[in-house]
Each structure stands twice: as C-alpha cells, then as structure tokens.
Amino acid sequence: MKYEFIKRENLKEKPHGELGFGKYFTDYMFSMDYTDQVGWHDVKILPYGDVNLNPATMVLHYAQETFEGLKAYRGADGKVYLFRPEMNARRFINSNKRMCMPIVPEDLFIGAIEELVKVEEAWIPEKEGESLYIRPFMFANETSVGVHVAKTYKFLIIASPVGAYYPQGIDPVKIYVEDEYVRASPGGTGFVKCGGNYAASLIGQAKAEELGYTQVLWLDGVHRRYVEEVGSMNAMFVIDGKVITAPIEGTVLPGVTRDSILKLLEEYGYEVVEKHLSIDELIEAARSKKLTEAFGTGTAAVISPIGELYYKGEKVQVNDFKTGNLTHRLYKDLTDIQWAKVEDKYAWRREVK
Ligand code: COI
C-alpha cells in the first residue's frame, strides 16, 4: 500500500504501570481524505496530533461519524496478530452505508491498519492481558450548516496500548437495567457503530453510575421489555443450561467477540438461543437461580461477567457475584487464540508482517 510517511522529531515516552483503557496514544496515526470527485486520497501516516476543524464542520453539528475497534496482540510466538479484522472491515462498510458515508474497501481498511501497526510495533504491550487497541473512524468534514449528506470525509486510525476495559477485569460487574430511555429502535442505527448511538446512551450510563453500577443493560425501543445489549458489549445469559442472547436484527451491534463466543459455545456443545428474552423472564430466572451465569462480550471488554442486575428497584445477583466456570473457560479459550498460545483452528488470527 502506498502512503506518505511524515516522521516526528521525537518519539514519546511509553507508559509505565497500569495502562487502563484509552488513556495513552502512540506516536503516529493513519489519515486519508475523501471527496466525491477524487475518492480516497492524501493517504499518510503522520505524527499523532490535533486535527484542525472549522466550526462549521458538519460532523460537529449533525454527527455523521462511524468507528471501529479492534486489537493487535503480541503473540506467545513473538509475532504480531490482528483478530478477525475482516469482520471489522465489513461492519464498517455496513455502518457507512447506513450513515450515507463513503465505503473503505476491505483491503484498504485492513492494509491501513497493518501499516500503522507495523510502524507502531514497539507500542504493542507484552504483559499478560494487554494489547494495542486500534480505533479506525470516519467523519464528515465538509464545512456547511445545511443538513445534507456531506461531500467530503476524513478517515483516521489511532492506536492506544490498553489493559482491561473495566477496572474489575475478569471480576463481575454490576449492571443497571434502563427502563426509561432507549438505545435503539427498529429502522434506526442500533446495528451501526456510530458516535451518535453512544452519545444517546450516556444518560443511562450517568444514571447507572450515580447508583453505583458500571454499565447499562438496554431494553428494546418498542416495548421496553426485551433484553438487547450492554453499552459497550453484547450480553449473554445462561438459563437452564442454554445460552441466550439477543438476535442480530438491526437494533443490536453485530459484535466480533459475540460471533467468536457463539462459535466456541457451539464447539463446547451448548445450545445457543438467539431470541427476544424478556426482562421479567430474566429477573425471574435470576431469583430462582436458573440464571447461572451472565456475561458481556466485546473487543474492549473481552468477556465481562455480570454479577448483579438492578431493575425497577430490585437487585438480583448472578452466581453469588462470582465469575462462573463457563465465563472463565470462554475467556481463557478466546484469549489463548488471540495471544497465539494455541492453534488457530478457526483461522481468526491474521499475522501482521
Ligand atoms: C469496542 O469494544 O471496541 C468498542 O468500541 C466499545 C467501546 C465502548 C470501547
């Protein structure tokens, strides 16, 4: 892939100690621009830094913005891997189609990530559980305050060395079930990874945090009755030995980790049911202890056990607020594949070389 490389004068000092999530950024970023006449052009890797925006830049007013999230791992064999980047590339295409934004072809999307990762290889952490989080994103940068599909866009990729998304790591998190606000409705943008979805979810997140909860479990936008997803993860519930998760029908994000976990569960012999699970059924299953485990799945969060649900004033615990055996097994098997500790039988790893 051809691009211009703009070298920075001094490299940054790498962080020491706990990385947390999304606090540090590498030395460089990838950038390219789009116009209807020229298509994608001005492809470069340049020093990580501010982006100048005119106050009338359309994204600031009408939120035409999409993004992705994936990780680069330092494998046990010393090589560098991405995990299923083609799934992110395809989801990004679907997001951009829904938001009337230009497509980044799959090979260009993956090629750009690989070039940045090669430049930033020294930033891939080597400690257990740490990786380089990669954030590709696109926004409308035409200057205009009329509402219309923008004619110009910028695509950037930034990278951040990260540890666990939640400070709890693989320990259970407490989840607040939101029964007032909704995240997505049929025909809307629930399946799209766009900033607007996250902006609209912040009010639920703020309520949850005020009550001492880590995240929100969203109910469907029509009935406020069926369980959909957690703000930063897809959600799965083990009830009577079956694993239940919301179907991908337009209101839930089609998660890469979700898809990978469903494959592992099938391999283990679990029955996976993609269905509309009502919140009443879920809470009743928790009360009667038929809900034996619950967990979220996501690139940032990996697998995060849910230890408590709060719904309409009632608190119910899951597995006595302990991480269950299935959750542990899935976490280990998934991360062993990601960190190249085991054979890649599903061809999920892509070596960056
Ligand atoms: C990811 O898991 O990659 C996401 O984009 C979720 C975000 C809340 C960090």
The residue extents of the domains of the chain are 4-162, 173-339
What's the whole-number mean pLDDT along residues 89-96?
98
Q: Which pLDDT belongs to residue 170?
A: 86
Ligand 1 center from residue 165 Cα (angstroms): 9
Calpha distance 175→301 (Å, rounded):
14
Model-level pTM greater than 0.85?
yes
Residue nearest to ligand 1 atom 9, measured at CA: 300
What's the whole-number mean pLDDT along residues 289-316?
97
pLDDT tens-digit map of 227-258 = 999 989 999 999 999 999 999 999 999 999 99
pLDDT band at 183 (very low <50, low <70, confident <90, very high): very high
Q: Which pLDDT belongs to residue 231?
A: 87
Q: Which pLDDT belongs to residue 223?
A: 97
Q: Which pLDDT belongs to residue 259?
A: 98
Q: Which long-range contacts (CB under 8 A, 24 or more apart) does 209-213 make?
A: 211/176, 211/310, 212/174, 213/174, 213/175, 213/176, 213/310
Q: Which atom of ligand 1 is nearest to the CA of 193?
A: 5
The percentage of the chain sitting over the pLDDT mark of 70, rounded to a whole number, equals: 100
Q: Which atom of ligand 1 is nearest to the CA of 299?
A: 2
Q: Which pLDDT belongs to residue 209?
A: 96
Q: Which pLDDT belongs to residue 70?
A: 98
Q: Which pLDDT belongs to residue 176?
A: 98
Calpha distance 320→50 (Å, rounded):
46
Q: Which pLDDT belongs to residue 144?
A: 97
Tell me how far the alpha carbon of residue 220 is from its chain's centroid.
20
Question: With respect to CATH, is domain 4-162 assigned 3.30.70.360?
Answer: no
Q: Which of 183, 232, 252 to mutate to test the pocket of ligand 1 (most atoms within 8 A of CB)?
A: 232
Q: Which pLDDT belongs to residue 167?
A: 81
Question: With respect to CATH, is domain 173-339 assigned 3.20.10.10?
Answer: yes
Q: Which two three-digit tokens encode residue 283? A: 């809470």
Calpha distance 221→186 (Å, rounded):
8
Residue nearest to ligand 1 atom 6, measured at CA: 232
Q: Which of 84, 113, 165 to mutate to test the pocket of ligand 1 (most atoms within 8 A of CB)?
A: 165
Pocket of ligand 1 (CB under 6 A): 69, 232, 298-300
Q: Which of 82, 166, 297, 299 to mutate to test the pocket of ligand 1 (most atoms within 8 A of CB)?
A: 299
Q: Which pLDDT belongs to residue 169?
A: 80
pLDDT tens-digit map of 188-235 = 999 999 999 999 999 999 999 999 999 999 999 999 999 999 989 999
Residue nearest to ligand 1 atom 3, measured at CA: 69
SS (H, E, C) 281-339: HHHHHHHCCCEEEEEEEECCCEEEEEEEEEECCEEEECHHHCCCHHHHHHHHHHHHHHC
Calpha distance 269→162 (Å, rounded):
33
